[in-house]
Amino acid sequence: MSNIVILNTNSAEFKRIQEIAESDRDGPVLMLNQNRYAPAAGYPDGPLYKGYMRALRGLLPKVGGRVLWQIPVYGQPVGEQPLHEILAAWYPTHKAFVELREQVGAEENYRLRALAVEYAVIHRCPADVIPMP
């Protein structure tokens, strides 16, 4: 089982996200997920990985979000951060990102994520500079 933190709601960054969500400055945001999957996930064809992706794709629309794209990582010519995949999740607002964990299906999504994801870093990025498919 994974030992990653699913969402640290006590972090300074999460507090910034909450402040934006509660302000009149809230707007679209892109969350760039860099993931390395646990062997048990069977990335990219295993049932655990596919179940997690199904749960994620079912959950995001509940807050108006969606996965824009997913790409496999072949290697790193610079640095050391072995990853399997980079996933771009778009949210209409920071508030939508905060409210994701309160939606029906969130518990199952986070349960599967905890089993499937061995390592993750999520970067909060501006959504107005990315091409939308």
pLDDT at 61: 98
| 133 pLDDT higher than 80 | no
pLDDT at 1: 42
N- to C-terminal Cα separation, the chain: 34
Q: Is residue 72 part of a domain?
A: yes
Q: Is residue 103 part of a domain?
A: yes
pLDDT at 132: 65
pLDDT band at 5 (very low <50, low <70, confident <90, very high): very low
How many CB atoms lie under 10 A from the CB of residue 40?
Answer: 15
* CATH assignment of the domain containing 73: 3.30.70.100
Model-wide pTM > 0.85: yes
| C-alpha of 129 from chain center | 19
* Residue 77 domain boundaries: 26-126
Give the Å distances, CA to CA, from 33 to 46, 49, 67.
Answer: 19, 15, 10
Q: How many folded domains does the chain comprise? A: 1
Q: Is residue 73 part of a domain?
A: yes
| 42 pLDDT higher than 70 | yes
Q: Is residue 20 part of a domain?
A: no
pLDDT at 9: 72
